[in-house]
Structure 1
């Protein structure tokens, strides 16, 4: 008799270790259809977590729950950031508390230049990295500071979206498909930037279909399947487990 492999031993249900960000029994659903079911995991300060799974596994919904971008999904459960209850907050309150979401569509504001997009992000406190510091991090943006943001290449728009998040005083950076549609050389540049961000102590959660690249960057990985966690462990464990990758990531 064939027995389906059990990868659940990698899941830390007790969640007893101190964590910077804790997601507790989070559920998200549209109407009566569940997208995320009882998802729980910890992320430590300065860590990069790869949140992985096939299309429709619930990855983006989990990110949106953390950022309190509930509409149109309804969410339940608790989410704590540095002892603050995110689950009681609206999206703008979560942003003020240190959550920076870079959505898949990047949401560059039409009609504004690169610099105006960054200035708008800093119109109210808490202000994060200075614009000059962001140009040091992304020299291409400095070269195109007067160019309308929506006319940038896809890779440059991704840089702008990350820079705009860093314009705020963030504690956690949430990235939804940051490599999508980008050439490998641009992905290399984005990864270099994310390593610099990690060195600054910023915690990062990355949702990415290019699972191998995400795992090579990440410290730990959480894998979702049909809205539930099937693995929670180190990125190295996933890279070294061919059966697990084939079962849930198709790689």
Structure 2
């Protein structure tokens, strides 16, 4: 049998993980934020991306979604055989990378249902709206209510539901529990558990590290834009010294 060419070998390597991040470097202007981050994710995993404020978590997440800021200036991002590092944000979304940003970005003047319908204008579509309502019954009750008048927890539900209205292969959640009362956090946790049961690969950036770790399969810890720990979520939960050093909890 002929030996594999170098190109074939590279393809075999990069198509092995479901999602592969290879030595990415991102900048806000001259500020060097994401400094050589690499990791792989298997399909269906939930990964907690953790670190102190300013560690580079949101910047990493935005880089993966190919947002215009920060600017990617090196490295590769692969979703199976999709070269995401070459894409713009709308192309990454079309490939199946959906991000729910911390500010939720509910569109003023539109009802809950109109927010969902707008998400489905661009193909490929994800869940039908009635399926979304089956998993988010509170949104079904408020389908004709203006989205920005919902409570904080309901807006977070709508932001997640809107991501699912597009085809989603990788879901990126940025601070899904931010500013929510504990009882609402538990509701959002329930939604993330549903997402896990459905096999949707997810990365969670969350300041509430314990809540994220209790949901996650794996954990990545960032410090100063670099990964300082990669392993199981349970390993972080069981290591108070590690949490104290990098998470201050």
Q: What is the TM-score of this pair, normalised by structure 2?
A: 0.92
Instruction: For residue 71 of structure 1, report the CA deviation from its aligned partner.
Output: 2.6
Give the total of aligned pairs.
237
Write out per-residue CA displacement over residues 145-201 of structure 1, whole angstroms, 9 at most, x where no aligned residue.
Answer: 000000100000000000000000110000000000111121111111111112222
Partner of 1:232: 230
Taking a change above 3 Å as real, the CA distance of residues 200 and 190 of structure 1, as seen in their structure-2 partners, is same
**Residues 160-179 of structure 1: matches in 2 within 5 Å?**
160-179=158-177
Match of 1:216 among 214, 217, 233: 214
Match of 1:103 among 93, 97, 101: 101
CA RMSD of aligned residues (A): 1.4
Partner of 1:180: 178
Which region of structure 1 is more displaced relative to structure 2, 138-147 or 70-79?
A: 70-79
Partner of 1:124: 122
Partner of 2:202: 204
Does the Cα contact within 8 Å between 1:50 and 1:206 map onto a contact in 2? yes
Which region of structure 1 is more displaced relative to structure 2, 103-112 or 184-193?
A: 184-193
Partner of 1:41: 39
Report whether the alignment pairs 1:151 with 2:149: yes
Question: Which contiguous aligned blocks of 4+ residues in structure 1 show a shift greater than 6 angstroms?
Answer: none
C-alpha distance in 1 between matches for 2:70 and 2:194: 34
Write out per-residue CA displacement over residues 216-239 of structure 1, whole angstroms, 9 at most, x where no aligned residue.
Answer: 000000000010110000000000
Partner of 2:89: 91
Write out per-residue CA displacement over residues 21-65 of structure 1, whole angstroms, 9 at most, x where no aligned residue.
Answer: 111001111232211100001111000000000001000111111
Instruction: For residue 18 of structure 1, report the CA deviation from its aligned partner.
Output: 3.4
Partner of 2:187: 189
Q: What is the TM-score of this pair, normalised by structure 1?
A: 0.91
Give unmatched runs, 5+ long, in structure 2.
1-12
Does the Cα contact within 8 Å between 2:14 and 2:20 map onto a contact in 1? no
C-alpha distance in 1 between matches for 2:165 and 2:79: 19
Taking a change above 3 Å as real, the CA distance of residues 37 and 20 of structure 1, as seen in their structure-2 partners, is same
Give unmatched runs, 5+ long, in structure 1.
1-14
Taking a change above 3 Å as real, the CA distance of residues 158 and 75 of structure 1, as seen in their structure-2 partners, is farther
Instruction: For residue 67 of structure 1, report the CA deviation from its aligned partner.
Output: 0.5
SS at match of 2:110: coil
Does the Cα contact within 8 Å between 2:15 and 2:80 map onto a contact in 1? no
